[in-house]
Structure 1
Amino acid sequence: MPKLGKAGSLQSRQAIVHSLVHTESWAIDLSWDIIARFGKQEGMPREFFTDFVKVAQDEGRHFNLLAKRLEELGSSYGALPAHDGLWDSAIATSKDLLARLAIEHCVHEARGLDVLPTTISRFRNGGDNETADLLETVVYPEEITHCAAGVKWFKYLCLRSKTPALSRDNLSSEENGDKETEISTEGNEEVIQKFHATVRTHFRGPLKPPFNEEARKAAGFGPQWYEPLAVKEVQNNPST
């Protein structure tokens, strides 16, 4: 894997954009995979399909725009090595929709929100305003909605497990991202605790700060969801 650098050189800018294109490629596959693998099998409502079709369309557009930009920078997708971390996580969560939502569509999506502002700044500092504008005006705001979809449907599954007859219409989702879904404080705490347990089971190690609190909040992903996961869990083994 090549070092990405800080976008100060053409080689570094090519490497960063190539990495972003590769991430979008996996994101397209993951969006369709969650629909095909879990939608009908888990009896998900129509809005679940609609949300992730929209995510897939966004990711496809991001891929095309970034791949075009990469060519303008004198490279092309596939010219550099790339990691398969997202697909490794997909395989690990292939039999559990709750885990898939938590890891791929909450943890990984939110991590992208954490690092994108720094990436944008690096391109601007390196004199590449065109790439910075693409990331800032197209990719970044749409990625917030993708994280929001993960949070929304994780909540839905948790609540449905307690109320099997629950339909999507019973959940009042926020339009502006400033409010949590309208469920009881006790119910919300149970959902968050389930999220913590799921992430600790399916994700290696603690989450890495600093966190983009503003973007995460806009996705309905408050600090109570992720801050406890930034600390390595201590295993208490009773002495014998």
Structure 2
Amino acid sequence: MSDFLFAVECALKSCDPAEKVSLTRFLTQAEVPPSVPPPERLPAPGRPQKPQLVMPRDVPRRGLGTLEGRAALLHALAHIEFNAVNLALDAIYRFRGMPQAYYADWLKVAQEEAYHFTLLREYLQQLGFEYGDFPAHNGLWEMALRTDHDVLIRMALVPRVLEARGLDVTPGIQARLKEVGDTRAMEILAIILRDEIGHVQIGNRWYRWCCEQRGIDPVPHFITLYREYVTPFGGPMNHDARLAAGFTQEELDLLATLNT
């Protein structure tokens, strides 16, 4: 194993959020030799004992009119970013034999997700709360497990579906935070939205690269995978952000029919 992959493994397996962030931030891009085989056993991502993981329907819904309600929302976002760090590290560690640019892209994603988590956690602390104070669900990582056998499917469904949903819902969350006057949370979400457009763009790039390598038409194949793996979602899509992230208008029109 290369020194770079060993360092990625250490960051992925770390259970302490601050240590995971630190290890991820200081990863330095290095060559991943094509001859390096995948590991016999893939490490489970490290996570702290808290937050308690529950089913999505069991995560309490709170209004933003109270401090606790805003903290619960920020906590949910921090949990997404924590999982996103693990997802990006896993995309590096799990899938071997990709071009060097693939590893550089996902290292950039991991480091930006670690920055997002830190922003949210520090603001939670300013409000008198800590990451782990509220229950959370594990839906994002469950999709990682369902796509762990194929880099094409991972690229199709994690950045292009789950992370793209973040592009859709963030403006609405920002509007709700504006109503309660939380300018700092709005600033943090603006940073996250800006960077997440780039992350979805990276997913689009490597999904299409994988399709080209295999002689697959990316649009109909994506729709096939979507129907197989994804529960349709409601609500509007952020067309401008999705187009900026590399979706085509054809794909957005097809997704609109699937999600109605």
TM-score by length of 1: 0.80
Moved beyond 3 Å, runs of 4+? 1-6, 229-233
In structure 1, what is the Cα distance between the partners aligned to 2:60 and 2:249?
31
**Corresponding position of 1:150:** 203
In structure 2, what is the Cα distance between the partners aligned to 1:83 and 1:223?
32
Q: Quickly say closer, same or farther: Cα 1:209–1:224, change in 2 above 3 A.
A: farther
- Percent identity, please: 38
**Corresponding position of 1:25:** 82
How far apart are residue 8 of structure 1 and its match?
A: 2.2
**Corresponding position of 1:127:** 181
Tell me the secondary structure at the aligned position of residue 127 of structure 1: coil
**Corresponding position of 2:192:** 139
**Corresponding position of 1:11:** 68
In structure 1, what is the Cα distance between the partners aligned to 2:132 and 2:64?
19
Q: Is the 8 A contact 1:144 1:215 kept in 2?
A: yes
Q: Quickly say closer, same or farther: Cα 1:11–1:223, change in 2 above 3 A.
A: farther
Tell me the secondary structure at the aligned position of residue 206 of structure 1: coil
Q: Is the 8 A contact 1:207 1:226 kept in 2?
A: no
In structure 2, what is the Cα distance between the partners aligned to 1:57 and 1:22?
16
**Corresponding position of 2:49:** none
Q: How many residues align?
A: 202
**Corresponding position of 1:100:** 154
1:193 and 2:220 aligned: yes
Tell me the secondary structure at the aligned position of residue 209 of structure 1: coil
Q: Is the 8 A contact 2:239 2:252 kept in 1?
A: no
Structure 1 runs not aligned, ≥5 long: 163-186, 234-240
User: How well do the aligned residues superpose, as a CA RMSD in angstroms?
Assistant: 1.6
Counterpart of 2:164 (choices 79, 87, 110) is: 110
**Corresponding position of 1:202:** 229
Cα deviations by residue, 1:16-66 (Å, 9 ceiling, x for unpaired): 00000000010000001011111x2xx210110000000000000000110
Q: Is the 8 A contact 1:8 1:125 kept in 2?
A: no
1:78 and 2:135 aligned: no
**Corresponding position of 1:174:** none
**Corresponding position of 2:43:** none
Aligned-partner residue type, residue 211 of structure 2:
C
Q: Quickly say closer, same or farther: Cα 1:161–1:115, change in 2 above 3 A.
A: same
1:35 and 2:92 aligned: yes
In structure 2, what is the Cα distance between the partners aligned to 1:227 and 1:73?
41
How far apart are residue 99 of structure 1 and its match?
A: 1.3
Q: How does 1:221-236 map to 2 (within 5 A)?
A: 221-232=247-258
In structure 1, what is the Cα distance between the partners aligned to 2:175 and 2:81?
20
How far apart are residue 6 of structure 1 and its match?
A: 4.4
Cα deviations by residue, 1:123-143 (Å, 9 ceiling, x for unpaired): 11111111111111x111001
How far apart are residue 232 of structure 1 and its match?
A: 4.7
Q: Is the 8 A contact 2:201 2:245 kept in 1?
A: yes
In structure 1, what is the Cα distance between the partners aligned to 2:143 and 2:111?
21
Aligned-partner residue type, residue 72 of structure 1:
Q
Tell me the secondary structure at the aligned position of residue 148 of structure 2: coil
**Corresponding position of 2:142:** 88
Q: Is the 8 A contact 1:98 1:154 kept in 2?
A: yes
Tell me the secondary structure at the aligned position of residue 8 of structure 1: coil
How far apart are residue 72 of structure 1 and its match?
A: 1.0
How far apart are residue 120 of structure 1 and its match?
A: 1.1
Cα deviations by residue, 1:160-183 (Å, 9 ceiling, x for unpaired): 112xxxxxxxxxxxxxxxxxxxxx
Q: Is the 8 A contact 1:2 1:15 kept in 2?
A: no
**Corresponding position of 2:212:** 159
Aligned-partner residue type, residue 218 of structure 1:
A
Q: Is the 8 A contact 1:24 1:59 kept in 2?
A: yes
Aligned-partner residue type, residue 198 of structure 1:
L
TM-score by length of 2: 0.74
How far apart are residue 209 of structure 1 and its match?
A: 3.2
How far apart are residue 221 of structure 1 and its match?
A: 1.1
Structure 2 runs not aligned, ≥5 long: 1-57
